[in-house]
Amino acid sequence: MLFFLQLTQRLPVPQEPVNIIVPIVYDMATGLTQQADIPRQHSSSGAAALMVSNILRRFNELHPARQGECTIFASVHELMANLNLPPGGRQ
């Protein structure tokens, strides 16, 4: 299952919010949620994509999926709690 999340980090008033669109793949057979490997435009931040990938990889290592358990909500929660986007506008 492939879906896209737009995550927005609100910053203090004089600065614009920073956001990123994250392609997520959920494998129903294994219960793993990970970032989709989709080619990105040159303007996209490779650093942000790497951070997302690392957070999801660490989540999957620390919280292995149990049979029949969906990890989408828990992995998105992990991303929201631990992802700090670099300043500089839309990613």
pLDDT tens readout for residues 27-50: 998 889 999 987 765 445 678 888
β-bridge mates for residue 53, sequence order:
none
pLDDT, mean of residues 46-63: 91
13 versus 72: which is more confidently predicted? 72
Return the structure tokens found at 31: 């219960």
Instruction: For residues 47 and 23, give the distance between their C-alpha atoms in angstroms, rounded to a whole number.
Output: 15
pLDDT, mean of residues 51-57: 93
pLDDT reported for residue 13:
82
Residue 73 identity (one-letter amino acid): F
